[in-house]
């Protein structure tokens, strides 16, 4: 990264944001950085909030959590719903507590809407739920498939469709619901919900990037590691506890595919390849989201160690 005059003024609120696609190394970099500057990490990962979903979400290890405090990890049970509004409330509380104790808050994750809700602030909620419309759309998905519903969304809101996994029925239905209620694409409605002033304007943003081929190799290795660490057993336990594959929590990458395997809809080899393919597509959507944010200072981490990346960010923060 080029030399930057990004140092935070003495006495200013100290917040740094680290984003990037899945498997880019955000967590390990944040731990190295947090340990060096006495910071605490606020997770911005829409799957890490669920208890008992550890392997498939690539949560920080116990050793990493002992090195640096983490917030917004293991917040709710898998069967509970959790909204962006819920995240915004809890994350702001965590950041304010960290700042009040004179520490640096590191907001780390790949869920772009979570980061935006925390740093910029969103006026939530938008249009309220319409049970009848949701029932109708869900019946369409059951009859014609999730891909049909996703293509329906793409026809009216290609921006939202590009950001939503084609099998994430819950989010597809919500995006269509917003469109049918307001006559506007959900992406446009979200722009209107942005607060007139950013909640944390002094936050400094850093993005981790690398060549696509390198990232895809890392994604494939991560998926193989998850299988070796027991992802199949983790999903089996969740199903045994009563978690349904249609639940919001079970829509996460890895969980839906392994559930299909366990329910005899595909073999394990196919499930693993689908996880890899879907994760690569997800990473591409993440980069599309983050590239639109001009505040992000990008660091090519392909040939850098986590310590080197952390030191690079430290320099940008003025340490």
CA proximity to 232, closest of 198, 260, 204? 260
* The token pair that represents 227 in the structure block: 């299988």
Query: Is 291 within 8 Å of 165 (Cβ atoms)?
Result: no
Kindly report the CATH number assigned to the domain that includes residue 202.
Answer: 3.40.50.300
Q: Kindly indicate the confidence band of residue 193, based on its pLDDT and cuts at 50, 70 and 90.
A: low
**199 and 256 housed in the same domain:** yes
pLDDT at 194 over 70: no
Clarify whether residues 148 and 225 are in a common domain: no
Q: Is residue 3 part of a domain?
A: no
Residue 37 lies in a domain: yes
Q: Are 64 and 33 in contact (CB under 8 A)?
A: no
pLDDT of residue 127: 58
Q: Last residue of a domain, which of 163, 193, 223?
A: 193
**Domain co-membership, 189 together with 217:** no
Q: What percent of the chain has pLDDT over 70?
A: 92
In a domain, 7, yes or no: no
204 strand-pairing partners: 16
| Total domains present in the chain | 2
Task: Give the confidence band of 124 by pLDDT, cuts at 50, 70, 90.
Answer: low
Whether 128 shows a pLDDT value over 80: the answer reads no
Residue 135 sits in the same domain as residue 264: no
What distance in Å separates the CA atoms of residue 154 and residue 159, rounded to the nearest whole number?
8
Q: Of 169, 193, 217, which residue constitutes the final position of a domain?
A: 193
Q: In this structure, are 164 and 108 located in the same domain? A: no
Structural domain ending residue among the three candidates 193, 211, 246: 193
Which pLDDT score, from 0 to 100, does residue 171 have?
81
Domain span at residue 169 reads 131-193
CATH of the domain at 172: 1.10.20.140
**How do residues 31-86 score in pLDDT, each as one tens digit?**
999 999 999 999 999 999 999 999 999 999 999 999 999 999 999 999 988 888 89
Q: Do 256 and 299 lie in a common domain? A: yes
Domain identity same for 224 and 84? yes
Tell me which of 65 and 188 has the higher pLDDT. 65
Cα angle 255-259-262, degrees, rounded to a multiple of 5: 140
Res 168: pLDDT: 79
Q: How far is CA 237 from CA 137, 195, 231, in A?
A: 30, 41, 10
Return the number of other C-beta atoms located less than 10 Å from residue 123's C-beta.
11
Q: 28-37, 44-53, 191-200, 308-317: which has the minimum mean pLDDT?
A: 191-200
State whether 26 and 43 are in the same domain. yes
Same-domain check for residues 76 and 19: yes
Say if CB 210 and CB 301 are below 8 A apart.
yes
155 pLDDT exceeds 80?
yes
């Amino acid at each position: 990264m080029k030399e930057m005059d990004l140092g935070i003024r003495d006495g200013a609120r100290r917040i740094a944001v680290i984003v990037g696609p899945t498997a880019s190394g955000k967590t390990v970099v944040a731990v190295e950085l947090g340990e060096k500057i006495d910071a605490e990490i606020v997770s911005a990962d829409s799957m890490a909030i669920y208890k008992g979903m550890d392997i498939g979400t690539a949560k920080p290890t116990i050793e990493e959590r002992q090195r640096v405090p983490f917030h917004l990890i293991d917040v709710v049970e898998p069967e509970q719903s959790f909204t962006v509004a819920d995240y915004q409330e809890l994350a702001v509380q965590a950041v304010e507590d960290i700042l009040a104790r004179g520490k640096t808050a590191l907001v780390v994750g790949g869920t772009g809407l979570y980061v935006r809700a925390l740093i910029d602030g969103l006026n939530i909620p938008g249009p309220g739920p319409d049970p009848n419309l949701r029932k109708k759309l869900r019946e369409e998905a059951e009859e014609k498939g999730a891909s049909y519903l996703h293509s329906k969304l793409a026809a009216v809101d290609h921006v939202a469709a590009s950001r939503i996994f084609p099998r994430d029925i819950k989010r597809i239905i919500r995006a269509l619901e917003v469109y049918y209620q307001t006559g506007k694409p959900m992406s446009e409605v979200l722009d209107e919900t942005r607060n007139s002033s950013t909640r944390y304007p002094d936050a400094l943003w850093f993005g981790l990037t690398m060549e696509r081929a390198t990232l895809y190799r890392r994604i494939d290795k991560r998926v193989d590691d998850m299988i070796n660490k027991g992802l199949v057993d983790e999903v089996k336990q969740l199903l045994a506890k009563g978690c349904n594959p249609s639940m919001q929590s079970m829509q996460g990458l890895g969980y839906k595919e392994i559930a299909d395997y366990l329910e005899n809809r595909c073999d394990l080899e196919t499930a693993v390849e689908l996880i890899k393919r879907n994760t690569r597509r997800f990473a591409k959507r993440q980069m599309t989201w983050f590239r639109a944010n001009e505040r992000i200072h990008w660091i090519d981490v392909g040939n850098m160690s986590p310590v080197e990346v952390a030191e690079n960010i430290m320099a940008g923060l003025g340490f």
